[in-house]
Amino acid sequence: MPDDTAELEARLEEQDEFEPPEEFVAQANVSDDSVYDEFEENWPECWERAAELLDWDEEYDTVLDDSNPPFYEWFTGGKLNASANCLDRHLDERGDEAAIEWVGEPVDEENRTYTYEELHREVNEFAAALREMGVGEDDVVTMYMPMIPELPIAMLACARIGAPHSVVFAGFSADALATRMESADSEYLVTANGYFRRGDALDHYEKTREGLGDVGHDVSDVVVVDRLGDHGHGHDLESNEHYYQDLVEEQEGAEIDPVSRDAEDMLFLMYTSGTTGQPKGVKHTTGGYLAWTAWTSQAVLDVKPEDTYFCSADIGWITGHSYIVYGPLALGTTTMMYEGTPDHPERDRLWEIIEEYEATQLYTAPTAIRAFMKWGSEYPDQHDLSSLRLLGTVGEPINPKAWKWYYQHVGDESCPVVDTWWQTETGGMMVTTLPGVKTMKPGSAGPPLPGVDAQVVDVNGDEVDAGRAGYLTVQKPWPGMLRTLYNNDERYIDEYWAEYSDTDSDDPDDWVYFPEDGAKIDEDGYITVLGRVDDVLNVSGHRLGTMEIESAIVGVEGVAEAAVVGGKHDVKGEAVYAYVITEDGYDEDEEMRDRIVEGVEDAIGPIARPEQVVFTPELPKTRSGKIMRRLLEDIANEEDLGDTSTLRNPGVVEDIQQKVAGD
């Protein structure tokens, strides 16, 4: 490493605040601090600013209808179509510009560019095919598809005819597909015969068939995209299955008028990854969601029509829905998507893509950034990344070390980094810095966005003092919020509202949204999200936050990571189970165990004493890098583990099970 880099790194390590780069500020979509006050003073009408980014078939008459909390309605009376907003209205000015740049896994060197004109055409053709198949307004169409352009095309085709989509991540199991189709009463499926990953042609058809076999109702039609072509596995389709390519060809030139949808009509369902139990069908609506994703794409990601914007997420997650498909296309920009992995054919795949396409933004996850960091800075350093103007992260807290690496080696110290906190349920970003306005503090997501009333509170719902840990809450509704859990209003209230609301009240001021994350707030109002609170344990009648016990354990010398869950206990009701990863060089022995127990007793009290300390080399994590506590809980309670297909490392589960049983 040359001297100046070492010096730079030393300087960055010390620095804990970063100002937005001047050059960025000079061109930023939002560069005036006054937006915070303006939104606060003018709430909820401030959200007209988001609605104005859309074309409405009929103007709304009410911004927010809060007469029946927590079933809020936004932009009521308004009518619009999401696909018309993402396609038709851009045709005049941007018809020949790229809407989607798709980079396929480098097998056949196949990349595709869809101009707005071309995307519009194919969406219309597929919409016509769906209609002919019998898909009507409000019929849920499930998609079980890899990262191919036909996925956003199918989503937009559904939006065009008013059929909500429900996208199931292609990496999920057949079982996960079946559960989600059943829960949504979905009779239509769009899938693919396979996809390419690390040079292999993976079969996806078998898994789809297996899943379909477990669906308890009749599935009327299945559309199969032939992604594998000559690399295919030679399947014969069933009589209700059709190749996507044939359908689109049959509908050549078809045009479908976009169905005018009420603002509050469902745009899609998205089942959360299920780290916390039975998957939840999060319902998002047309007006509020589209306004939210368009506004945040513009204000936070600084998206402009002439950009080539790159989000490396999978469309099977909410991040891909909001910030590959709907937000960017609503703004008429070029959005990128790629098939495969960041380390194939080489560990510079993303940097190569960014250089080749001159991408202007990169939005990715901390877990990816930590992998890039481990692989080494020589990979980004080999490429000209000077087209980048802004960097973003989402999905979990980013540690300052990774943040700074990203800032330095990918952004060359000239791109602001937005650390964006949000969730499937919020539809889009909630807490993050406005990149043209706010100082960045690595490790902290930032203040709530203008007009978002996020607060960190204690168990009683009172705001905590600066520096203290508590629970993140949102005190006022926002347009992008989920409207309910599909067919389960009761669970919607239970999961997200009951904790901090007076559920008997009709007064919206008595209703508080609880995202189930722990957080800290500093003297400038910056929020550091600590991760999922999960359960508060009830040990002998005392309420204990798992997060607090975990912090105590991680504070013990030699502990690298810890996860705490509740296990059933005859006397106490619940007992504390701690799963611990030690740092290299520390023994997993009685001494260590004692020090952990002592650490918890000192920090919280004997009541929080772990009943069991289980040492493990790994914790079960989802593909997006989150600890899957539900599984740890099931292990502690010796329960059936259910679906583990959302795990990145399913093998570790059995190891841990054996350890617990052997103890």
Give the binding site for ligand ATP (CB under 6 A). 272-276, 317-318, 394-397, 419-421, 423-424, 445, 515, 517, 529, 531-532, 626
Q: What does DSSP say about strands 484-485 and 469-474: parallel, antiparallel, or unpaired? A: unpaired
Closest contact distance (angstroms) between CB of 547 and ligand ATP is: 11
Q: Least distance (Å) from ligand ATP to the CB of residue 530?
A: 8
Residues 6+ apart with CB under 8 A from 261: 79, 80, 81, 82, 162, 267, 286
Residue closer to ligand ATP (CB basis): 60 or 471: 471
State in angstroms the smallest separation of the CB of 478 from ligand ATP: 15
Give whole-number Cα distances, 454 to 34, 106, 145, 155, 290, in Å.
Answer: 18, 44, 35, 31, 21
Residue among 256, 291, 268 nearest 86 (CA): 291
Please give the single-letter amino acid code of residue 153.
I
Minimum separation from the CB atom of position 318 to ligand ATP (A): 6
Please give the Cα distance from 94 to 88 (Å, whole number): 10
Name the residue nearer to ligand ATP (CB basis): 194 or 397: 397
CB of 148 to ligand ATP, least distance (A): 22
Residues paired with residue 175 on neighbouring β-strands, in sequence order: none
Residue of 427, 295, 333 lying closest to 87 (CA atoms): 333
Residue 35 CB, nearest approach to ligand ATP (Å): 21
Decide whether 47 or 421 has the Cβ nearer to ligand ATP: 421
Cβ closer to ligand ATP: 347 or 629? 629
Nearer to ligand ATP by C-beta: 193 or 273? 273
Q: CB of residue 606 vs ligand ATP: minimum separation in angstroms?
A: 30
Dihedral sign from CA coordinates of 211, 217, 223, 229: positive
From the centroid of its chain, how far is CA 467? 27
What is d(CA 201, CA 110) in angstroms, rounded to the nearest whole number? 14
In single-letter form, the type of residue at position 203 comes to D
- Helices assigned H by DSSP within 167-243: 174-183, 205-213
- Smallest gap, in angstroms, from Cβ of residue 417 to ligand ATP? 11
Q: Which is nearer to ligand ATP, 60 or 421 (CB)?
A: 421
Residue 471 backbone zone (phi > 0: left; psi -120 to 50: alpha; other: beta): beta
Among the listed residues 442, 423, 417, the one whose alpha carbon sits nearest the alpha carbon of residue 362:
417
Q: How far is the CB of 396 from ligand ATP (least distance, A)?
A: 5
Of 300 and 556, which has the nearer Cβ to ligand ATP? 300
Closer to ligand ATP by CB, 285 or 646: give it: 646
What's the CA gap between 333 and 361, in Å, rounded? 12
User: Are residues 578 and 571 in contact, defined by beta-carbon separation less than 8 angstroms?
Assistant: no
Q: Which is nearer to ligand ATP, 120 or 284 (CB)?
A: 284
| CB of 272 vs ligand ATP, minimal distance in Å | 3
Contact (CB, 8 A) for 396 and 531: yes
Separation in Å, CA 206 to CA 192, 193, 211, 241, 441: 10, 8, 9, 13, 47
Q: In angstroms, rounded to a whole number, what is the distance separating the alpha carbons of residues 341 and 352?
A: 13
Which of residues 298 and 424 has its CB atom nearest to ligand ATP in the complex?
A: 424
Cis, peptide link before residue 152, omega less than 30° from 0: no
